[in-house]
Copies of this chain bind each other. A is one copy, B any other.
């Protein structure tokens, strides 16, 4: 059998058995399982064990966010997991928002605790009660902190790995403290920019929407959400940027001495991203062969697969080891799969794991001083001279990133549908198609009325885009476009 025949025959032996476009939920669960991202069999619903490959991708992703936060003057801290009930309940709106879904420690061993301890569903209260001791004068402001912590919510809805979980692993949340409202508002803008840079790096498409007043984060003045859409048509909140105003500083007494020696309450913001980002990357970029990871977070960017023919293993192994060394020297994350499985099994496995580039090396290739480079995104195959390999791989990784981003942007564009009236929505819209935009006059009454009529909740409005047309509720000129959809 000719070398090429053997390769394609082997690669056809196994296929990824669920069609993503037909059955996204099962495809997603299966893709995560096959790629060994997390193990959902951990014996508590919605709490998953992170496997080595998934955890590496998560850490690579988070390291980029750390870079962006450090780069903009944030300092990393860590605040305890448990929050005394008396502290947790200091801000009333917040308490109402999170009380019902918090895990609560009531005992240690067989001893009943004197005070119940909340397992953080989010960190505001535990942090602010201590940070108030760190702020004395205006010289201490702005104070920009972040931490990477797990947060816990007793979800009662159906859970899904990385998207809706009870233990959110390595939630990266920033909390900032400012002397005045203008600085806090500017910080919100900075955060939005940081997140835009981040999601662009992650090759994710998103829309920044402002949450309407009747749906803000508990204890917030206003907030922005980074929304994307999952292939089943549901919206997903990737990040939230929140202007807390003085709500928490009043509740916790966070004050500074200003230049007139008076005490003023600080203004605060907070914002965070979670493992959902990774889940959404996998959901959007994967295909019927499994995952496709952006090169920037792929634990293995190039996988070398030797193609063995009896008696010719030696030169192939030697060439593979050399290629590996060369690529590693060029800072390309490279693995060499020299296990005993068939080449076809290896192709299947690494494709399912979303490794962007495969390098095949058979005896013929060795003779020619070349290797076959296969792109995961286009499945294009190309023989490349060994001495050109580093450069070629580097450029191809860039090209894959660009191609993935382009695809993702087109994907989101298709899934945000613009309508003029509620009637049009009812006629033409099916839930799995994506999100719906309608002109809105800006009045709460109208927003709520549209939600009710089309039967799906609003997820926010596009502040910067004046809508053409007339408010889908009252018929007055539309000030903005409001979006609706089911969400995770």
CA distance A107 to B104 in the complex (A): 5
Q: Which of A51, A103, A107, A119 has the most CB of B within 10 A?
A: A103
Which of chain B's residues have a CB closer than 8 A to the CB of A100? 109-110
Which of chain B's residues have a CB closer than 8 A to the CB of A41? 130, 133
Is the pair A47, B108 in contact by a Cβ cutoff of 8 Å?
no
Number of chain A interface residues as a range: 35 or more
Is the pair B109, A39 in contact by a Cβ cutoff of 8 Å?
no
Given A49-B130, A130-B49, A154-B109, is A44 in contact with B102 using a C-beta cutoff of 8 Å? no
Is the pair A77, B49 in contact by a Cβ cutoff of 8 Å?
yes
Is the pair B108, A106 in contact by a Cβ cutoff of 8 Å?
no
Is the pair B102, A108 in contact by a Cβ cutoff of 8 Å?
yes
Does any Cβ of B come within 8 Å of A446's Cβ?
no
**Consensus secondary structure, chain A interface:** strand
Per-residue CB contact flags for chain A residues 117-136 toward chain B (1 = under 8 Å, else 0) read 10100000011011001100
Given A103-B105, A103-B117, is A150 in contact with B81 using a C-beta cutoff of 8 Å? yes
CA distance A132 to B41 in the complex (A): 11
Does any Cβ of B come within 8 Å of A87's Cβ?
yes
Is the pair B44, A84 in contact by a Cβ cutoff of 8 Å?
yes
CB distance from A56 to the nearest CB of B (A): 7
CA distance A43 to B80 in the complex (A): 10
Considering the complex, which residues of chain A in the window 31-51 have a beta carbon less than 8 Å from any beta carbon of chain B? 39, 41-44, 47-51
CB distance from A84 to the nearest CB of B (A): 5
Is the pair B102, A109 in contact by a Cβ cutoff of 8 Å?
yes
Does any Cβ of B come within 8 Å of A214's Cβ?
no
Does any Cβ of B come within 8 Å of A167's Cβ?
yes
Which of chain B's residues have a CB closer than 8 A to the CB of A145? 52
Is the pair B105, A109 in contact by a Cβ cutoff of 8 Å?
no
Given A39-B133, A101-B108, A117-B103, is A82 in contact with B44 using a C-beta cutoff of 8 Å? yes
Which of chain B's residues have a CB closer than 8 A to the CB of A167? 80-82
CA distance A78 to B44 in the complex (A): 14
Give the residue of B76, B82, B108 whose beta carbon is less than 8 angstroms from that of A104: B108
CA distance A56 to B75 in the complex (A): 9
CB distance from A89 to the nearest CB of B (A): 13
Which of chain B's residues have a CB closer than 8 A to the CB of A134? 39, 51
Binding site for B on A (CB under 8 A): 39, 41-44, 47-52, 55-56, 59, 75-82, 84, 86-87, 99-111, 117, 119, 126-127, 129-130, 133-134, 145, 150, 152, 154, 167, 169-170
4 interchain residue pairs of minimum CB distance: A108-B154, A52-B75, A50-B78, A47-B80
26 contacts between A and B (CB under 8 A): A41-B133, A42-B79, A42-B129, A43-B130, A44-B84, A49-B78, A49-B127, A51-B134, A52-B75, A52-B145, A56-B76, A59-B76, A78-B169, A81-B119, A81-B150, A81-B167, A82-B103, A82-B152, A100-B109, A103-B108, A103-B117, A104-B106, A105-B105, A105-B106, A108-B154, A119-B119
Please give 5 more A-B residue pairs, beta carbons under 8 A apart, in addition to A51-B134, A55-B78, A82-B103. A41-B130, A42-B126, A42-B129, A49-B80, A104-B108
